[in-house]
Amino acid sequence: GQQLNQSPQSMFIQEGEDVSMNCTSSSIFNTWLWYKQEPGEGPVLLIALYKAGELTSNGRLTAQFGITRKDSFLNISASIPSDVGIYFCAGQLGGTASKLTFGTGTRLQVTL
């Protein structure tokens, strides 16, 4: 099935640094979502975006719905060790009733 391209594939950063990652698609989506997955667990929803150009924050996390509707960005400010995990973007084409298409994931490691 289709997957969205995420970059970078992995990141090794120091505690306190800011993190940026993005997700791109060849087709448009009407909803973008960002999830975090820790080892042996299911994904946890971080931020949901419903409108092109929308910028939404959740604590130290900020995500944007790209104007073209083909991309989205996630920023994490002042990273802490518990930010470690895999971050997945997901797009929905037909609104919230339709299935999700997941990105390839960005693996984040935070060192002290």
Partner 1 sequence: GAVVSQHPSWVICKSGTSVKIECRSLDFQATTMFWYRQFPKQSLMLMATSNEGSKATYEQGVEKDKFLINHASLTLSTLTVTSAHPEDSSFYICSARRDRGRGEQFFGPGTRLTVL
Contacts to partner 1 by CB under 8 A: 1, 3, 33, 35, 40-45, 48, 50, 88, 95-97, 99-105
Q: How far apart are CA 13 and CA 45, in angstroms?
A: 23
Main-chain phi, psi angles of 93, to 5 degrees: -80, -50
Give the SS3 label for residue 49.
Answer: strand
Shortest Å distance, C-beta 40 to partner 1: 7
Q: Do residues 73 and 54 touch, judged by C-beta distance below 8 A?
A: no
Shortest Å distance, C-beta 60 to partner 1: 21
Q: Do residues 6 and 71 touch, judged by C-beta distance below 8 A?
A: no
**16 or 95: whose CB is closer to partner 1?**
95
**15 or 99: whose CB is closer to partner 1?**
99
**41 or 59: whose CB is closer to partner 1?**
41
Shortest Å distance, C-beta 86 to partner 1: 9
Q: How far apart are CA 54 and CA 47, in angstroms?
A: 11
